[in-house]
Amino acid sequence: MSMTRALEVVERKTGDRCCDVGAQPSTTYADAERDAAVFDLLAHPVRLQLLDVLVRNEGRVCVCDLESAVPVKQPTVSHHLRLLREAGLVDSEKVGIWAYYRVDRGRLAELKERVEVRLSGLT
């Protein structure tokens, strides 16, 4: 007998065993949770725009610059920056009055890699 799943074009009849032999996903749920968290971080237009500006301006962007790049107020910008920082994607340095943010390109590459792997799994 082949290893093909009980899920083929086999015509089921109402009583047939159905739900207990189901196809299983190729990753653990924990992996799915980890990847979902990655997508979640990118699932907001403000965060996408902030990352965009930060990537495009090597190293020295202050919060007020970022604030002028998105249609939300300063506390909201700080909020989203905090999320990005807690995820390790950006870090900040205080210089005098200002707080300069920059992307951690290594972390960003890791994130992109996780996205690639997950998407390539959706062949």
18 contributes a contact to DNA by CB under 7 A? yes
Q: Alpha-carbon distance 66 to 63, whole Å? A: 5
Q: For a second copy, give the closer residue by CB, 56 or 94.
A: 56
Q: Alpha-carbon distance 38 to 15, whole Å? A: 41
In the set 1, 2, 9, 75, which binds a second copy (CB under 8 A)? 9
Q: For DNA, give the closer residue by CB, 46 or 103.
A: 46
Site for a second copy in 62-121 (CB under 8 A): 62, 64-71, 96-98, 108, 112, 115, 118-119, 121
Q: Alpha-carbon distance 67 to 78, whole Å? A: 9
Query: What residue has token string 């032999």?
Result: 21
CB under 8 Å to 8, separation ≥6 — which residues? none
Cα 71 to Cα 80, 95, 114, 120, distances in angstroms: 13, 25, 29, 34
* Contacts to a second copy by CB under 8 A: 5, 7-9, 12, 14, 18-20, 22-27, 29, 32-33, 35-37, 39-40, 42-49, 51-53, 55-57, 60-62, 64-71, 96-98, 108, 112, 115, 118-119, 121-123
Q: List contacts with DNA (CB under 7 A).
A: 13-15, 18-19, 40, 43-44, 46, 62-64, 67, 72-83, 92, 94, 96-99
